[in-house]
Amino acid sequence: MKITGVELRTIRMPLKSPFETSFGVEEERVAVLIRVVATVPEGGTAEVSRHDHHSAETQGWGACVAMELPLYSSEYADGAAEVLRRFLVPKLLAETTAGRDVTAELVDPLLEPIIGHRMAKAALEMAVLDAQLQGSGQSLAGYFGATRTTVPSGVSVGIQPSVHALLDVVGDYLAEGHVRIKLKIKPGWDIAPVEAVRDRFGDQLLLQVDANAAYTLADARVLRKLDAFDLLLIEQPLPEDDIRQHAELARLITTPICLDESVVSVRAAADAIALRACQVINIKAGRVGGYLNARRIHDLCQANGIPVWCGGMVETGLGRAANAALAALPGFTLPGDISASDRFYDQDITEPFVLDDGQIEVPTGPGIGVRPIQDVLDRFTISTEWIQAT
Ligand code: SMG
Ligand code: MG
């Protein structure tokens, strides 16, 4: 593929209701989207192009999971846009200028000299991968070698004003068909809400909690009380760089520890497994630098007997589609944070993902399998810029 140019677009979308976690309250989703325009040789193979210079245009969409503020991770939307425009996109376009082809598989090595900024890199790789698969007609799930056609839908439930309000909200999500409940917790909102949900909805409910790094090892005695509620897991109880302390905590509690924020790369996943810092891993492509690394972590975990599930970052339909394809891989043995689009949005920028008997359908069309609805996209857009290959 030769890249013609890249569009960076920032959108701002209202959430249906505020989403509160241990680190803050989100009322809107600000996100950077990427559209890559490229040409592929007609017929799809380099073979053909040698004799025939006709080429077809293809477009790919990527979405950056970085939030408006650097509270979940060090990356944030405007920072991601800046690193994309100044460093990452120019590296990609320089390949075209030099007459070299770009493939999705080359994006990560090409961007490696730039340190960090994994969410920005992941978004660019996603757009190139989508463009490439649009060109070849293959679905992302097919590219991954995914085995399922639907994935079970779990929902992440924000911190509520009261336990009473929480029980109502959880009841509504279960009535919609979501098959697993994740409660956001923080010091002071942990044991009581978990106990109330377990009491009300019974032992069969698939229930887990996510602390978003809000505790320290000194809280082990409180966290131990969660052992009584037969949780699937506790997600990221301690800070991102506390891998060793997670290993210590794992010796003090029986609830399986799942890492989210700490797993920023394939290497970090390998370390966490080797140090026994977690028994489960939440895979988010954005957090680990892209869907190809996400796939590698899946493979690593599968080889080590570590169950994985697909995390969520309040995605629009673009990211939700790609996540569904990833979660269709066989190592994803736990339901992920892939809820219906209307869990967050009254109006999504793609056709909405809906629940069918608690399942989300894995897209089968080329690439990520969904496209933005142009007028809806424009309505939520706050800025766009076009960066042309020279
Ligand atoms: O997309 O369903 C979703 C959100 C899932 O809880 C969720 N994500 O730490 O796992 C996590 C959080 C990160 C984003 S919170 C604003
Ligand atoms: Mg999490």
> Average pLDDT for residues 21-40, to the nearest whole number?
97
What is the pLDDT at residue 43? 62
Angle of helix 104-111 relative to helix 118-136, nearest 10 degrees? Answer: 160
pLDDT tens by residue, 224-239: 999 999 999 999 999 9
Answer whether residue 49 shows pLDDT above 70.
Answer: no
Nearest atom of ligand 1 to the alpha carbon of 236: 9
Answer whether residue 140 shows pLDDT above 90.
Answer: yes
pTM for the whole structure: 0.96
State the pairing for strand pair 206-210/234-235: parallel
Nearest atom of ligand 1 to the alpha carbon of 313: 1
Task: Provide the H-helix boundaries in 43-136.
Answer: 46-51, 77-83, 89-97, 104-111, 118-136
Tokens describing residue 119: 């969410």
Active site residue 184: yes
What is the pLDDT at residue 50? 45
Mark the residues whose beta carbon lies below 5 A from ion ligand 2.
210, 235, 260
Active site residue 121: no
Query: What average pLDDT does the structure give for the chain?
Result: 96
pLDDT over 70 percentage in the chain? 97
Which of helix, strand or coil describes residue 295?
Answer: helix
Residue type, 357: D
Please tell me if the CB atom of residue 210 comes closer than 6 angstroms to any atom of ligand 1. yes
Please tell me if the CB atom of residue 337 comes closer than 6 angstroms to any atom of ligand 1. yes
CA 284 to ligand 2 centroid distance, Å: 9
CA 323 to ligand 1 centroid distance, Å: 13
CA 172 to ligand 2 centroid distance, Å: 22
> Average pLDDT for residues 134-153, to the nearest whole number?
97
Tokens describing residue 103: 């493939």
d(C-alpha 390, C-alpha 382), whole Å: 26
Give the mutation target among 337, 342, 355 for probing the ligand 1 site: most ligand atoms within 8 A of CB: 337
Please tell me if the CB atom of residue 339 comes closer than 6 angstroms to any atom of ligand 1. yes
Task: Work out the pLDDT band at 384, boundaries 50, 70, 90.
Answer: very high
Give the mutation target among 21, 151, 180 for probing the ligand 1 site: most ligand atoms within 8 A of CB: 21
Q: Are 180 and 152 in contact (CB under 8 A)?
A: yes
pLDDT tens by residue, 55-76: 899 999 999 999 999 999 999 9
Task: Work out the pLDDT band at 51, boundaries 50, 70, 90.
Answer: very low
Distance set, CA 341 to CA 35, 105, 381 (Å): 21, 29, 19
DSSP notation for 174-196: HHHT--EEEEE-BTTBSHHHHHH
CA 241 to ligand 1 centroid distance, Å: 19
